[in-house]
Amino acid sequence: MPRTGQITEEYLLALTPRDCLWNFHFTALEILELAKVFDIPDPFKTHNQYAFLAVEALALLLACFHLGCDQFELVSKYQQYQLSLSEFFNELIEYLDKRWAHLLNCNSEGVLHPDQLLIYVDVITAHSAPLTNCFAFLDCTIQEICCPSVDQEVCYNRYKKIHALKTSMGTFEGQRNNNYLLKSSNILPQLAEFAFWPGIPEDAPIHECNLIVFRDPAYRCNAHLASPFSNDNITQEQCEWNQEMLQVQIEVEHGFRVVVNNFPFLNVFQKMQIFTSPVRHYYQIGVLLTNALNCFHPNQVSQRFDCPPPLINEYFCNSGIDNEDNYM
């Protein structure tokens, strides 16, 4: 069985905090803890039986995502083999995305537990949002990719005028509109199961019992979606209402920028080759890593809304996982 690699627990602990943060964006102790809660098999084996220690596998992934460097740099710096590194990188990405997919889905566990929704409503309302039953904001992000060799029109985004993938609850071709993303994500049927004020009679009006996600006018109407006033004859009061909601929405949407600022690899569009790499999984993993970093060090959005994140072992719980063998 091939054995490669130079990154060990001892190696990480021997680094200065500055060097560790520069190379991996996490401290040594954070990497060691994250390797455990990520549930990476130790050793992590590729289909050709290249083996990597769990800590080594995570550190190499972090180095690639944080530095945005070419794999050749990792090969020379950490004494890896190009074939093993490329194979390992893609398979670890797919493993983590499947293993923790439930954390990025819309369900009533974890950060979207009904009790948590009430906390989000309170902190959003406390920041001058006039909509007093809003717990989240809906939008998507557009990730530029390398121009595909075939079927280029499928990924061409006419709004940005680039070839891209669109990510919201899942990743889709750049030509898709926001309503397609919304329907494919299955968010609305799931919200209809748990996004309600507690203790409200069943015969109460919808606007009195539903918790709401605020959206832009591009999305269709729904009992759990609210949007700005958008007709040509809105009143001054309605215009002010729009401005107040949009101010809060902008603060929340800074989270999109946090992801790519933390992990510049996601902005290297030349590496985003959809027919040779699992590009659809890259942004999902970037979000998972950003959420993990937020658990250790609350980001600007969390601090702005005075809404502390869960502990790292609380966030990466086993809810939704039946059998680890299904993910290897």
pLDDT class for 327, splitting at 50, 70, 90? very low
pLDDT at 104: 85
In angstroms, rounded to a whole number, what is the distance separating the alpha carbons of residues 101 and 147? 27
Q: C-alpha angle with apex 319: 225 to 143, nearest 5 degrees?
A: 50
Q: Compute φ and ψ for 224, nearest 5 degrees.
A: -105, 10
Domain ranges of the chain: 9-99, 103-327
Nearest to 140 by CA among 103, 183, 101, 81: 183
CA distances from 163 to 168, 193, 268, 273, 285 (A): 17, 36, 13, 11, 21
For residues 65 and 266, the answer to whether their CB atoms sit within 8 Å is yes
pLDDT above 50 (res 290): yes
Residues 6+ apart with CB under 8 A from 122: none
For residues 155 and 165, the answer to whether their CB atoms sit within 8 Å is yes
More confident residue, 194 or 203: 194
pLDDT class for 96, splitting at 50, 70, 90? very high
CA distances from 292 to 65, 100, 170 (A): 14, 12, 19
For residues 185 and 176, the answer to whether their CB atoms sit within 8 Å is no
More confident residue, 262 or 199: 262
pLDDT above 80 (res 68): no
pLDDT at 39: 92
Could you give the maximum distance between any two Cα atoms of the chain, in Å? 71
Q: What is the average per-residue pLDDT within 229-235?
A: 79
Return the structure tokens found at 29: 């102790």
In angstroms, rounded to a whole number, what is the distance separating the alpha carbons of residues 321 and 314? 15
Return the structure tokens found at 67: 């530095």
According to the per-residue pLDDT averaged within each range, which of 100-114, 163-177, 207-221, 290-304 is highest? 290-304
pLDDT class for 273, splitting at 50, 70, 90? confident
Q: What is the average per-residue pLDDT within 80-108?
A: 85
pLDDT tens per residue across span 17-63? 999 999 899 999 999 999 999 999 988 998 888 888 999 999 999 99
CA distances from 224 to 105, 109, 134, 187 (A): 17, 18, 9, 10
| Percentage above 70 pLDDT, the chain | 94
pLDDT at 326: 40
More confident residue, 199 or 113: 113
pTM for the full model?
0.86
Q: What is the average per-residue pLDDT within 113-139?
A: 88
pLDDT class for 74, splitting at 50, 70, 90? confident
- State the chain's mean pLDDT as an integer: 84
Q: CA-based Rg of the chain, rounded to a whole angstrom?
A: 21
pLDDT at 1: 33
CB atoms within 10 A of CB 28: 22
pLDDT above 70 (res 4): no
pLDDT class for 318, splitting at 50, 70, 90? low
Q: What is the average per-residue pLDDT within 279-305?
A: 90
More confident residue, 308 or 200: 308
pLDDT at 94: 92
pLDDT at 95: 94
pLDDT at 319: 56
Strand boundaries in the chain, DSSP class E? 44-45, 51-52, 134-137, 141-144, 156-157, 162-168, 170-173, 212-214, 225-226
Q: Is 320 exposed, middle or buried (0-12, 13-18, 19+ CB in 10 A)?
A: middle
pLDDT above 80 (res 235): yes
For residues 135 and 120, the answer to whether their CB atoms sit within 8 Å is yes
